[in-house]
Amino acid sequence: MFRPQIYVNLPVEDLDRSVRFFTALGFAFEPRFTNENATAMIIGEDSFVMLLVKPFFQTFTSRPLCGRDRTAAIIALSQPDRASVDAIVEQARAAGATVPGPPVDHGHMYQHAFEDPDGQLWEVFYMDASAFDAG
């Protein structure tokens, strides 16, 4: 049975800097999809983030890229528990990320966020799925 994969493409200014940053957060990269213009960051078995240097990214679209003063997307990344949310945000901060605000606790969901070196917004969250169970 076919299982689709997802590849989120993000423009980056400096590929080496981005690889160092996300390596510090514990991510690995697929060498088959890596060269001087791009790399595939492994998020999960079927999920990847393609980090593309801006000139290469621009070959896929005629539309202008968003600047740091705009948000085109928020990449949400689940974690197994609240402590893991806090840990990855602290790893990001230590690796040079900006943390735009304090964590938010909704009871059934706990969220925190960071901006990577290129200004992409990553929301890190834990969700208690049992809060949504019927009955």
> What is the DSSP secondary-structure string of 56-81?
HHGGG-SSPPP-TT--S-EEEEE-SS
pLDDT single digits (tens) 36-55: 999 999 999 999 999 999 99
Domains 1-61 and 70-135 are alike in CATH topology: yes
The third-level CATH classification (topology) of the domain covering 70-135 is 2,3-Dihydroxybiphenyl 1,2-Dioxygenase; domain 1 (3.10.180)
H/E run at residue 95: none
- Predicted structure pTM score: 0.89
**Distance of CA 87 to CAs 30, 63, 129, Å?**
24, 36, 21
Token pair recorded at residue 42: 């492994």
pLDDT digits (tens, 9 = 90+) for 54-99: 999 999 999 999 888 888 889 999 999 999 999 999 999 999 999 9
The yes-or-no verdict on residue 129 having pLDDT over 80 is yes
Instruction: Enumerate the domain spans of the chain.
Output: 1-61, 70-135
What confidence tier does 134 reach under pLDDT thresholds 50, 70, 90?
low
CATH number of 1-61: 3.10.180.10
Q: How far apart are CA 83 and CA 118, in angstroms?
A: 26
